[in-house]
């Protein structure tokens, strides 16, 4: 059994917008607070090049700058942030254990804010150009593609919604579909969306193809597609590519201890309480929140979870 080295009022798992905002509130309530983050604070925000929809930030900022400000704020209010990986939670009656590779800590309350990640496009150039034309969020980045040509990967409901949303900005939107047009599996979206996308003058479908390479030096300039019938490669000029092939909540470490839904999202009530007393969840790994995947919505949930944790601790 890993040695338990400390006890905190609140342990927060994840230092994205939800976890950091929760820490602002619990720190400010003078609750001893430990934030554990396995990567770089900021969560999925770090995938975004330029942020201009964080309310109160008048001029566009960068994810590192916003997170640096949040970190300063959190630490000034007394919370501690450590880089470590939570391997599991062991719920208890009065106190819970949070297990990391070389130690464990006790927590009277836990706020789970591990976030989610978009399923990545694994083709050549995709990782290198993420935030430079490769985007996983049309709501976040669509605005930067006014008058541009974009490609969308993913033809489910959210892929087609994003394609339609992108027509508000882009001159042309090409949707890459892995199946031939006549294949009933080609588009998994609802009939209404399919109809609207098919009849939209800015949208065209590129059937029976997948993405072979994202091309560009400083930014995306073209997408190389592979025709799945012939294997032939063709190049489509494009300024951006929006990838919509699903999200993965980062909740594997909770399996067996906290109820998750079939897709791995943390189940809570409307007050963000899991079924375990004293354990709360906030942000994109939580059912409902992932529908939006927006930083300020996750931040609001972090504040809610912190206020509910305070009520719980005061009981």
Radius of gyration of the chain (CA): 21
Look-up of token digits 């939800």: 18
Q: Are the beta carbons of 19 and 283 closer than 8 angstroms?
A: yes
Among 124, 125, 174, smallest CA distance to 149 is for: 174
Figure out which of the listed residues 29, 126, 150, 285 binds a second copy, where binding follows CB under 8 A: 29
Figure out which of the listed residues 5, 40, 76, 233 binds a second copy, where binding follows CB under 8 A: 76
CA–CA gap between residue 276 and residue 91 (Å, rounded): 7
Our finding on whether 304 is near a second copy (CB under 8 A) is yes
Is 89 or 297 the residue whose CB approaches a second copy more closely? 297
Our finding on whether 57 is near a second copy (CB under 8 A) is yes
In the shown chain, the binding pattern of residues 116 to 145 toward a second copy, with x for contact by CB under 8 A and - for none, equals -----------------------x--xx--
# chain residues binding a second copy, by CB under 8 A: 50
Is 67 or 121 the residue whose CB approaches a second copy more closely? 67
Q: Classify 281 as helix, strand or coil.
A: strand
140: annotated active-site residue:
yes
Our finding on whether 270 is near a second copy (CB under 8 A) is yes
Q: Are the beta carbons of 153 and 121 closer than 8 angstroms?
A: yes
141: annotated active-site residue:
yes
Figure out which of the listed residues 5, 52, 83, 101 binds a second copy, where binding follows CB under 8 A: 52
Eight-class DSSP state of 62: -
Our finding on whether 191 is near a second copy (CB under 8 A) is no
Among 130, 125, 128, 126, smallest CA distance to 44 is for: 130
Write the burial class of residue 243 (CB in 10 Å: 0-12 exposed, 13-18 middle, 19+ buried).
buried
Residues 201-240 that bind a second copy (CB under 8 A): none
Instruction: Give the C-alpha distances (Å, rounded to integers) separating 140 from 37, 59, 233, 267.
Output: 23, 15, 30, 26
Q: Which residue in the list 49, 137, 157, 210 is annotated as catalytic? A: 137
Instruction: Give the C-alpha distances (Å, rounded to integers) separating 46 from 5, 170, 235, 245.
Output: 31, 24, 29, 19
Q: Write down the least CB distance from residue 56 to a second copy, Å.
A: 5
Which residues belong to the active site?
A: 137, 140-141
Interacting residues toward a second copy by CB under 8 A: 17, 20-21, 24-25, 28-30, 52-58, 66, 68-70, 72-73, 76-77, 139, 142-143, 161, 164-165, 168-169, 192, 270, 288, 292, 294, 296-304, 307, 310-311, 314-315
């Amino acid at each position: 059994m890993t040695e338990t080295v400390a006890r905190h009022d609140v342990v927060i798992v994840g230092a994205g917008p939800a976890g950091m905002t929760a820490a602002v509130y619990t720190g400010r309530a003078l609750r001893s607070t430990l934030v554990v983050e396995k990567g770089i604070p900021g969560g999925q925000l770090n995938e975004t090049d330029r942020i201009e929809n964080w309310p109160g930030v008048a001029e566009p900022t960068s994810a590192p700058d916003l997170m640096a400000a949040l970190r300063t704020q959190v630490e000034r209010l007394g919370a501690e942030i450590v880089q470590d990986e939570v391997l599991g939670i062991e719920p208890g009656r009065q106190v819970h254990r949070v297990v990391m590779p070389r130690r464990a800590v006790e927590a009277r309350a836990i706020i789970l804010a591990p976030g989610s990640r978009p399923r990545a496009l694994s083709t050549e150039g995709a990782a290198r150009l993420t935030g430079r034309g490769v985007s996983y969020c049309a709501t976040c980045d669509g605005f930067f593609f006014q008058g541009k040509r974009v490609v969308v990967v993913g033809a489910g409901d959210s892929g087609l919604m994003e394609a339609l949303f992108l027509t508000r900005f882009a001159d042309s939107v090409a949707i890459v579909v892995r199946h031939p047009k006549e294949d009933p599996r080609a588009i998994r979206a609802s009939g209404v969306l399919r109809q609207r996308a098919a009849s939209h003058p800015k949208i065209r479908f590129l059937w029976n193809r997948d993405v072979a390479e994202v091309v560009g030096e400083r930014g995306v300039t073209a997408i190389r597609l592979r025709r799945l019938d012939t294997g032939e490669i063709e190049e489509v000029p494009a300024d951006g590519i929006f990838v919509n092939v699903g999200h993965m909540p980062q909740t594997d470490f909770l399996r067996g201890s906290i109820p998750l839904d079939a897709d791995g999202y943390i189940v809570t009530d409307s007050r963000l309480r899991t079924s375990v007393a004293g354990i709360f969840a906030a942000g994109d790994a939580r059912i409902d929140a992932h529908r939006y995947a927006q930083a300020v919505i996750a931040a609001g949930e972090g504040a809610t979870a912190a206020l509910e944790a305070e009520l719980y601790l005061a009981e």
